[in-house]
Structure formats: C-alpha cells, structure tokens
Amino acid sequence: MDPEATIQGIADGMSDGDWQQVADCADALIGWLARGGFAPAGWSRPMEYARDARRYALQRGACLD
C-alpha cells in the first residue's frame, strides 16, 4: 500500500468526477490507517480526509461492494 499514491488517486478521481475511484481509494486508505499503516507524508489528519472523500463520493453515486 502506498498511501501517497492513494491520496493522489482520491484527488484524481475528484478531478475527473470518477466517484467510484474516490470511494475505492478512500476505503483503501481508511483500512490501511485502521490497521496501523503510516500516514501519507505531510498529512496530519488523513483519516478525516479519507472519510470525508468517501462520504462525498457516495453522495454522488459511488457504490460499495
């Protein structure tokens, strides 16, 4: 897991309007952090960012498996 690439995936998905990508990347980051994974460099609150991104994506039509 590369949390910096995952944050970039969230940003790219938002930029492209790909809400499924946003939700998937956010879920991956949430799981990573919940299992004790390290936060992306320079991020003080990555869990909050990921949760907010996930919620935003779901409001725009992303689906969860």
For 22-45, the pLDDT digits (tens) are: 999 999 999 999 999 999 889 889
Asked if residue 55 lies in contact with residue 22, where contact means CB atoms within 8 angstroms, the answer is: no
Give a yes or no: residue 38 inside a domain. Answer: yes
As a whole number, mean pLDDT of residues 4-26 equals: 96
Give a yes or no: residue 65 inside a domain. Answer: no
- Residue 31 corresponds to which tokens in the numbers above? 């799981």
φ, ψ of residue 62 in degrees (nearest 5):
-65, 150
As a whole number, mean pLDDT of residues 11-27 equals: 96
pTM: 0.90
Give a yes or no: residue 18 inside a domain. Answer: yes
Q: How far is CA 24 from the centre of its chain?
A: 7
Give a yes or no: residue 17 inside a domain. Answer: yes
pLDDT surpassing 90 at residue 64: no
Structural domain count of the chain? 1
pLDDT, position 61: 84
Q: How far is CA 61 from the centre of its chain?
A: 15
Instruction: State the greatest distance between any 2 C-alpha atoms of the chain, in Å, as a whole number.
Output: 31
